[in-house]
Homo-oligomer: A and B are copies of this chain.
């Protein structure tokens, strides 16, 4: 009998290293098969390869503890097997129409082979020498998005786009990795514009913030935004040296829209205290409730104050495709800058965002040069971006905009808004759920409220109402965690003050309806599943007993 052959081991030789740069795995390798499986049946791949299941994160971590990089190479097949069993199987099914908790949704299937082409070409958009046609392509995409936002104003006519889209001395905006970089870029430009050259002070870019404050006689700089503003604005305030406490959170009304008269009051008061206003920020689709601020009112205020006006439309921007709903964003075309996320409602893969500027010269406020690329007068886009090297995501965005077209996006947007309105109806009509925020776009919040709690909230005194809400907060959080752990469906949760509960901060469930495959039936199923968890938890965690006691005290 022959002894068993020694186990085969991958070897690192110059020859094998050169091969990994040129030769695909053989047709019957695991990786080649997966590649075909995705091409032939993407939905099946996701359904079969992702194992929904209740694994505690701490247990999940056990497979990822080793930090020594192996000395010798692994076979591709071995790594692929590891990824399949430990990573792919334990990833989140973001394409599932049952996952309506976050802003990451399914994407059109054609994005997948196009992304493969993008990776194969491996262009770097920082400069034309590593991107060639991708550079004018990206400028075109920025022009298209700019036109979506500003194209109905008198200034932005055909001649405007003919003049500026491909003019490499200016930029109508940036593509970037996501909304955070977009918001940071917008406030960076606004800060630098506010602290304009003055006397000895040549520019904030060169001389810095402290010198700029001195030159302009400002005590501090502030940014004003609704308290529903995205957390990336807090990062921006830190990064830009303003300080997060100078990002002033303005109260919102019952409709979660910023109180513009409060914003005006705060702005005037800040100015009287010697503070410079970097920007007023309006939100077109708050992350938590999908609400859109009164952008025209903020634009009026910004005009009166003579300060920059930025709109964070990371979520809601594509609502501009909808003939019915675009009026909600009226006033966005008066913004100096607008953030849009492409990996959200433009349905391109993670991570792609954009920041658009009304004034083609605005980005000159942050222009940077080097000796080997992005030289003055060059066509290199990197002159005007916060990031350096960037991938060719413009190709995917370009394809989405053309393959779906305005009507395609309009249908998707209208569908989501319609679904949210319908779901709100269903929640309102049910005895045991409470609608917390009315959907204006395709986001809404709600919570489960059992009969005993409803009685206390209706008839109890302040103290017992507060107590009932504490129990409901725990219940809501537990329902969300149990649902997430079971892995069949997913909604998210957040906390904010709810006007009709005396402004108390409550924990609520949050639903984002961007996947066109999420049907009314699925939404009903989700409520039923949550009812089931609620029943379990009311019993097992003693919430029912606590609520019954509160209810009994009503007499």
Which of these binds chain B: A114-122, A458-466, A526-534?
A: A114-122
Contact call B389/A350, Cβ cutoff below 8 A: yes
CB distance from A181 to the nearest CB of B (A): 6
Within 8 Å by CB of A179, from B119, B188, B388, lies B388
Q: For A241, give its contact among B27, B71, B133, B209 (CB under 8 Å).
A: B209
Contact A387–B166 (Cβ < 8 Å): no
Taking the closest CB of chain B, its distance from the CB of A454, in whole angstroms, is 25
Q: Please measure, in the bound complex, the distance between the C-alpha atom of A92 and the C-alpha atom of B405, giving whole angstroms.
A: 28
A57–B379 contact, CB under 8 A?
yes
Q: Is A287 an interface residue (CB 8 A)?
A: yes
Type the 1/0 row for A394-436, where 1 means its CB is closer than 8 Å to any CB of B.
0100010111111110111001000000000000000000000
Q: Is the CB of B24 within 8 A of A109?
A: yes
Instruction: Determine if A39 is an interface residue (Cβ-Cβ < 8 Å).
Output: yes
> Which of A59-67, A265-273, A298-306 lies at the binding interface?
A59-67
Tell whether, in the assembled complex, residue A121 and residue B494 are in contact, meaning their CB atoms are under 8 Å apart: no
- Tell me how far the C-beta of A437 lies from the nearest C-beta in chain B, rounded to whole angstroms: 13
How long is the Cα–Cα vector from A403 to B31 in the complex, in angstroms? Answer: 13
Copies of this chain assembled into the complex: 2
Find chain B residues with CB under 8 A from A40 CB.
24, 27
- Asked if B21 and A178 sit within 8 Å, CB to CB, the answer is no
Q: Is A262 an interface residue (CB 8 A)?
A: no
Q: Is A349 an interface residue (CB 8 A)?
A: yes
Q: How far is the CB of A226 from chain B (nearest CB, A)?
A: 14
Q: Mark A114-146, 1 if CB is under 8 A from B, else 0.
A: 111101111110011111111111011001101
Q: Provided the pairs A76-B403, A129-B92 are in contact, do residues A240 and B243 lie with their beta carbons within 8 angstroms?
A: no
Evaluate contact between B45 and A120: CB separation under 8 angstroms. yes
A39 touches B14 (CB 8 A): no
User: What is the CA–CA distance of A36 and B351 in the complex, to the nearest angstrom?
Assistant: 25
Question: In the complex, how many angstroms separate the beta carbon of A478 from the nearest chain B beta carbon?
Answer: 15
B389 x A132 contact (CB < 8 A): no
A213 on interface, CB distance cutoff 8 Å:
yes
Q: Is residue A211 within 8 Å, beta carbon to beta carbon, of the partner chain?
A: yes
CB pair A129 B21 closer than 8 Å: no
A133 to B517, CA, bound (A): 25
In the complex, how many angstroms separate the beta carbon of A334 from the nearest chain B beta carbon?
A: 20
The contact of A180 among B36, B351, B386, by CB within 8 Å, is B386
Check if B109 sits within 8 Å of A23, measured CB to CB.
yes
User: Which B residues lie within 8 Å of A496 (CB)?
Assistant: 371
In whole angstroms, how far apart are the Cα atoms of A404 and B21 in the complex?
A: 11
* Distance in angstroms between the alpha carbons of A370 and B517 in the assembled complex: 29
Kindly list chain B residues whose C-beta atoms are within 8 Å of the C-beta of A122: 94-95, 104, 106-107, 349-350
CA separation between A499 and B76, bound complex, in Å?
A: 48
Inter-subunit contact A106/B369 (CB<8 Å): no
Smallest CB–CB gap between A533 and chain B, Å? Answer: 17
Other-chain residue from B39, B245, B405 in contact with A74 (beta carbon distance below 8 A) = B405
Binary flags per residue of A38-71, CB closer than 8 Å to B gives 1, else 0: 1111110110001000000100110111111111
| A88 to B42 Cα, complex, angstroms | 24
Distance in angstroms from A403 CB to nearest chain B CB is: 5
The answer to whether the Cβ of A520 comes within 8 Å of any Cβ in the partner chain is no
Is the beta-carbon distance between A161 and B119 smaller than 8 angstroms? Answer: no
A388 touches B131 (CB 8 A): no
Q: What residues of B have a CB within 8 angstroms of the CB of A234 in the complex?
A: 368
B205 touches A67 (CB 8 A): no
Q: Take A12-B407, A366-B238, A388-B178 as given contacts and tell me if A220 and B231 are in contact as well, using a CB distance cutoff of 8 Å.
A: no
CB neighbors of B among A1-56 (8 A): 10, 12-14, 16-18, 20-25, 27, 31-32, 34-36, 38-43, 45-46, 50
Whether A92 contacts B130 by the Cβ 8 Å rule is yes
A41 adjacent to B64 (CB under 8 Å): no
From A396, which residue of chain B is reached at the shortest CB distance?
B119
**What separation, in Å, do the CA atoms of A25 and B243 have in the docked complex?**
51
What residues of chain B lie closer than 8 Å to A22, measured between beta carbons? Answer: 42-43, 109, 517
Minimal Cβ-Cβ distance residue in B for A71: B406
Which of A95, A402, A406 neighbours the largest number of chain B CB atoms within 10 Å of its CB?
A: A402
A232 touches B388 (CB 8 A): yes
A208 CB-CB contact with B under 8 Å = yes
Q: Is the CB of A131 within 8 A of B67?
A: no
If A17-B412, A161-B67 touch, whether A101 touches B117 (CB-CB below 8 Å) is no
A455 interfacial contact with B, CB 8 Å? no
Q: How far is the CB of A218 from chain B (nearest CB, A)?
A: 9
Residues of B within 8 A of A324 (CB): none
Check A79–B399 contact: CB distance below 8 A.
yes
With CB as the reference atom, state the residue of chain B lying closest to A238.
Answer: B205
- Are B14 and A245 in contact, with the CB atoms below 8 A? no
Could you list 15 examples of A-B contacts with CB < 8 Å? Answer: A20-B403, A21-B109, A38-B116, A38-B120, A45-B120, A57-B128, A95-B122, A122-B349, A178-B388, A180-B386, A207-B245, A210-B219, A287-B370, A351-B387, A351-B391
